[in-house]
Amino acid sequence: MKPASRAFKTNATRALENEPLQRALRGIKYGFVANRAKARASLPEFDRLRDEARAIKEHTLAHLDLYLEEYESKVIEAGGQVHWAASADDAREAILKICRDAGARSVTKGKSMVGEEIAINEHLEAAGIKAIETDLGEYLIQIRGEPPSHIIAPAIHLTMDQVEADFRNIHKNLPPERILDEPGQLVAEARAVLRDGFLAADVGITGANLLIAETGSSVIVTNEGNGDLTQCLPRVHIVIASIEKAVPTLEDANTILRILARSATGQECSTYTTYSTGPKRPGDPDGPEEFHVVLLDNGRTEMLGGAFHDMLRCIRCGACMNHCPVYGAVGGHAYGWVYPGPMGAVLTPSLIGIDEAGHLPNASTFCGRCEAVCPMRIPLPKLMRHWRMREYEKGNTPARYRWGLKLWAFAARRPWLYHALTGLGASLLARFGKRRGRIRSLPMAGGWTRHRDLPAPQGKTFQQLWRAQEKAS
């Protein structure tokens, strides 16, 4: 997917005017946010589990090479194959080759953010292989040709009317007079249509929430069961996972799973958690005959041990975006690439470059709610600020803004000058706003006064008044 993050401001303005999107975004507060709070309240150990989960990931990252080797050897022992991919290109190539070798004509896909990251569907389609997204939300956006707007609820921006219109448009072989008024009817139609896809697929591709070194198992969580039909029906199962998904043991996976669903949807646990280890065993009546894991680096190693290391703990729950006022205002598409919200604001520049994604770490009020809810305690504002620093050092900060800062800092470092200027400014602005007590429009502050008044200063600075009082006493 070609990034559109440079157009963040334009995208955001369009999003703010998109009423159906705004309605959907308002719903997040009553769903994900309220449910997470409830789930947290009903598990007294929740915050301690977060600390443990963070420690598990840090331990794993410090031994990542070794755990990946262990994981690999267990996959091979179970009869599977592991393909290492340094780049998105490597991963796409590896997957296409497996599909070609299997003579695949059609592929089903479980939900995978890494799949989005490497744009695997486009690559397979270009090679004449049909790729069907089976997670309902992913299916809804696939038929519209859109990227996901949320990492766990990819179609959260769509209304029921839009889905109905799309279904009537795409499912042409169904009777046009059928009734599609309720979510249940739409879900039933998607279920029937996708069921044929499941049964016909030659290859199933899923992501992985975790890779367990102890057993060589990859883990996915779903509520729909689509990831399971994707892997237990076709002849070949491919897992695509980035390297930081590794954890040592089943016990370590338990800890992370205990905070994942609660942070994401607010469920006690997802409906289905599936551990897949190699291909079907002798005597198994079902399951894939071939099992492949594509291990993707694509920039992770560069983050390891560096300024953005903490981001490698992310378990893709989406809590940061659910609680973000900026995401809540503009939705996911405004961010212009695969990962939106605070986690995207940190990760996207690492993956596609800060020149491309410079807006994202800047478009934050630093309210800190993302960090407060992050199950892995990732200091997201700090990491966004770090990107701003990189930009400033590179000279990416707009010149006008840079010079403004320089002038201000020059004065602020010289208290006598600063106090003289603020004294002048306070009296000037006070005179300007004298009639109403507020200023409705001010040159150079158009960004502020376009939407709100500027309360006028009281007239003298505190320093002036304080010194006068000192003198008097």
Partner 1 sequence: MAKSKTPETKPNVGLFVTCLVDLVRPSIGFASVKLLEQAGCRVSVPRAQTCCGQPAYNSGDRPDARALALKTISAFEAYDYVVAPSGSCAGMLKHHYPELLGDDPGTAERARAFADKVHELISFLVDVRGVTRVKARYDGAVTYHDACAGLRELGVKAQPRQLLESVEGLKLLEMEDAEVCCGFGGTFSVKYPAISNAIVEKKTANIAASNAPCLLAGDLGCLMNMAGKLSREGRDIEVRHVAEVLAGMSGDPAIGEKQS
Partner 2 sequence: MSGARKRQSVLEGIRAALGAGGSDKTRKETVRKRLKSPRANLVPERASKDRAGRLELFTGMLEGQGAKVSHAKGPGDVPEIVAAYLRDNNLPTDFRTGSDDLLAAIPWDKTPSLTRHRGRGKAGDGVTMSRARAAAAETGTLFLTSGGENPTTLNFLPDTHMVLIRADDILGSYEDAWNVLREVYGQRTLPRTVNLISGPSRTADINQTIVMGAHGPRRLHVIVVG
Write out the binding residues for partner 1, residues 106-135 only, by CB under 8 A.
none
Residue 309, interface with partner 1 (CB under 8 A)? Answer: no
Residue 106, interface with partner 2 (CB under 8 A)? Answer: no
Residue 28, interface with partner 1 (CB under 8 A)? Answer: no
Residue 195, interface with partner 2 (CB under 8 A)? Answer: yes
Output 271 or 441, the one with its CB closest to partner 1. 441
Q: How far apart are CA 246 and CA 423, in angstroms?
A: 59
Q: How far apart are CA 226 and CA 208, in angstroms?
A: 14
* DSSP reduced 3-state for 413: coil
Contacts of 138 (CB under 8 A, 6+ apart): 109, 111, 148, 154, 155
The pair phi, psi for residue 119, each rounded to 5°, is 50, 55
Q: Which of 122, 125, 251, 355 binds partner 2 (CB under 8 A)?
A: 251
Residue 371, interface with partner 2 (CB under 8 A)? Answer: no
Q: Which of 102, 115, 123, 137 binds partner 2 (CB under 8 A)?
A: 137
Select from 67-75, 116-124, 371-379, 395-403 the region that touches partner 2 (CB under 8 A): 67-75
The strand pairing partners of 125, in sequence order, are: none
Copy the structure tokens of residue 43. 């598990």
Closest approach of Cβ 358 to partner 1, in Å? Answer: 11
Copy the structure tokens of residue 296. 């993707």
CB atoms within 10 A of CB 37: 12
Residue 356, interface with partner 2 (CB under 8 A)? Answer: no
CB atoms within 10 A of CB 355: 12
Output 43 or 442, the one with its CB closest to partner 2. 43
Residue 435, interface with partner 1 (CB under 8 A)? Answer: yes
The pair phi, psi for residue 205, each rounded to 5°, is -115, 125
Q: How far apart are CA 71 and CA 208, in angstroms?
A: 13
Output 223 or 422, the one with its CB closest to partner 2. 223
CB atoms within 10 A of CB 33: 18
Copy the structure tokens of residue 322. 């659910």
Q: Which residue has the tokens 């990859």?
A: 218
Copy the structure tokens of residue 63. 């031994």
Q: Which of 4, 7, 16, 43 binds partner 2 (CB under 8 A)?
A: 43
Residue 133, interface with partner 2 (CB under 8 A)? Answer: no
Which 272-331 residues touch partner 2, going by CB under 8 A? 272-281, 283-287, 295, 297, 301-302, 304-306
Q: Which does 270 bind (CB under 5 to 8 A by kind): partner 1, partner 2, none?
A: partner 2
Q: Which residue has the tokens 């009020």?
A: 365
The 316-345 site mask, x for binding partner 1 (CB under 8 A), equals: ---------xx-xxx---------------
The 170-209 site mask, x for binding partner 1 (CB under 8 A), equals: ----------------------------------------
Q: Which of 106, 159, 397, 463 binds partner 2 (CB under 8 A)?
A: 159
CB 279 within 8 Å of CB 151: no
Closest approach of Cβ 236 to partner 2, in Å? Answer: 14
Q: Which does 311 bind (CB under 5 to 8 A by kind): partner 1, partner 2, none?
A: none
* DSSP reduced 3-state for 203: strand
CB 222 within 8 Å of CB 82: no
Which 6-25 residues touch partner 1, going by CB under 8 A? 9, 12-13, 16
Copy the structure tokens of residue 278. 């190699």
Q: Which does 301 bind (CB under 5 to 8 A by kind): partner 1, partner 2, none?
A: partner 2
